[in-house]
Structure 1
Amino acid sequence: MNGTDRPPGGSALASLRRRAAAAAVAAVCSTLGVAVLVRSVSGTGAAIRWSATAGVVLLPVFWLLVSRLDANRRPDGARLLPRFGVGNALTLVRGVLLAWVAGFLLLAWRGGPLAWWPAAAYGTAAGLDYVDGILARRFGRETVLGARLDTSFDALGLLVAPLVGVAAGALPAWYLSASAARYAFVAGIRLRERRGLPVYELPPRRSRRFLAGLQMAFVAAALSPALRGAAVTAGAALFGGAFLLGFARDWLAVTGRLGSSGRSERDEQPAD
């Protein structure tokens, strides 16, 4: 490896901790900056509620990062990398944007000056979900950490954005079943493991990533003023239904009912 991968005067883990701390400070400062903008258009009370909710979600975002620093390794390598790389950096930006989306949970944002803000934040996060992996591969900086954060932030985004939509009346309440699907899926796997029941490997299927992307695009559209009424209801049934059916199919696979074989990996439980 070249010399740029060696942290000056310290271990790789210490370097990552410093970078994570710097990222956390930047996230807090940028969040406060957005809070100032919210205050300018919706008042002090709205800014306080937005900041408090966004701050609550920032905590698990950075906990997911800090608790997995030791996974900042290439998939085929054992050496810990001292820098996150552009892909992981963009993935972390996604996490911060998701916290900003969550900030609208307690605000009456529909029909006012904030009407486009949740859709813009979530749409940008969804776009970065496509870009971060491409750049990581382009620069040869794919890591186990990046894959784990990517999966976690996908699930987090499909939890907080629909919650914001349902709270504002932009999405039907039943749509939250799609938000809870992955968490229920993983919990079911953990329960089977504790009971000593077999857990089988998920078969590869390209539709998982594709349908997840469509789901994100639909949620972003549903949060915008452009999609209302019957179009939202139809989209929720189509995309939410496909999402739930994908998890049902994957559950049959990991429980051996579709003829899968081999133990599954704990940290790789994607489903459509």
Structure 2
Amino acid sequence: MNDVYAGTTLRRLRLRWVVVASIAAVATALAYDLFTARFATTLARRWLVLSGLVLAYELALLWRFLPRNHDGERLAPSLGPATLLTVVRGVGVAFLAGFLLLPQPTESLVWLPAALYGLAALLDYVDGTLARLTDRVTELGTRLDVEIDALGILIAPLLAVAYGQLPVWYLLAGAARYLFVAGKRHRRRTGKPIHDLPSGPISRILAGVQMAFLTVVLSPLLTPPEATVLAAAVLIPFLANFLRDWWHLTGRLPR
């Protein structure tokens, strides 16, 4: 009976995924129309290609995580408002990625990259709070939230470096999480022990500081050399936290 329920529920979730993916595709097409009015058609197409690829990756993650949409012991038949909000964040991050293939915006569009990333960062706080208030904290929502966070912290520094706002070494911020995950997978494949990480709010706090800093850097408010000094102050504790977690994971530090 449980297997029948899970199979039926998963099919419903996949239908909802189709609806979500269709809405995201329509939003992307509308954004493309707006960009064609402000940029050359060639540039707008570049934006569409890269944004579309990032959005497709995010939707693939959502599809992959659908069987983890548990709000207790049973598979939940709907995604829930918090997870849908995380998807909206993902759309914003995908739109931001498209700017990597465009010249730096000027005049009325100069604030757009900062606005896109800032909104995604703000909603990162809202979706978690909403999940707790509605009692819909799921493994799907948690995993998708982490993936969107990591993708944003990868794309935003790339854009800031491309604009000359940050030095190249700040790209370590975007690479840190992916290197950590790759190291963890390597230990699992080679049969090495993987220890639990300590709980606590420090990782979320540092990620929040990272997002706030990147939002400001993508805006006209902060420019070198002030941005470089602040970059070092933000990056060092961020990387130190990953190093601490790695030592815990490998058993070099007691929990």
Could you tell me the TM-score, scaled by structure 1's length?
Answer: 0.89
Alignment-derived partner of residue 171 in structure 2 = 176
SS of residue in 2 equivalent to 1:98: helix
State how 1:132-151 maps to structure 2 within 5 Å.
Answer: 132-151=127-146
Q: Are 1:47 and 2:44 matched, yes or no? A: yes
**How far apart, in 2, do the equivalents of 1:140 and 1:203 lie?**
24
Partner of 1:3: none
Is 1:65 matched up with 2:62?
Answer: yes
Gaps of 5+ in 1: 1-5, 261-272
TM superposition shift of 1:164: 1.5
Aligned to 2:153: 158
Answer yes or no: is 1:200 the counterpart of 2:195.
yes
Q: Secondary structure at the match of 2:50?
A: helix
Letter in 2 for 1:64: L
CA distance in 1, matches of 2:130, 2:75: 20
| Partner deviation per Cα, 1:28-86 (whole Å, 9 max, x = no partner) | 11111111222222232221111111001011100100011001112xx2211111110
User: Are 2:24 and 1:27 aligned?
Assistant: yes
Give matches, 1:62-141, under 5 Å.
Answer: 62-74=59-71, 77-141=72-136
Q: Residue 229 of structure 1: CA displacement?
A: 1.2
Q: Is 2:217 the partner of 1:226?
A: no
Residue 163 of structure 2 aligns to which amino acid in structure 1? Answer: A
Normalized per residue, the structure richer in helix is 2
Q: Distance in 2 between matches of 1:110 and 1:233?
A: 21
Whole-angstrom CA distance in 2 between matches of 1:205 and 1:142: 17
Identity, % of aligned positions: 48
- Give the deviation of 1:168 after TM superposition: 2.1
Contact 2:180-2:242 at 8 Å conserved across structures? yes
Q: Counterpart in 1 of 2:180? A: 185
C-alpha offsets along residues 115-168 of structure 1, whole Å, 9 cap, x if unaligned? 111110000000000000111111121111001111111111101111122122
Q: For 2:224 and 2:182, how far apart are their aligned partners in 1?
A: 34
CA deviation after TM superposition for structure 1 residue 112, in Å: 4.2
Secondary structure (helix, strand or coil) at the match of 2:109 reads coil
Q: Is the 8 A contact 1:41 1:113 kept in 2?
A: no
Give SS of 1:68's match: helix
Distance 1:25 1:148 in 2: 22
Contact 1:172/1:233 (<8 A) preserved: yes
The match for 1:267 is none
| Contact 2:166–2:224 (Cα < 8 Å) also in 1 | no
Contact 1:42–1:113 under 8 Å retained in 2: no
Structure 1 residue 170: Cα displacement: 2.1
Deviates more, 1:227-236 or 1:88-97: 227-236
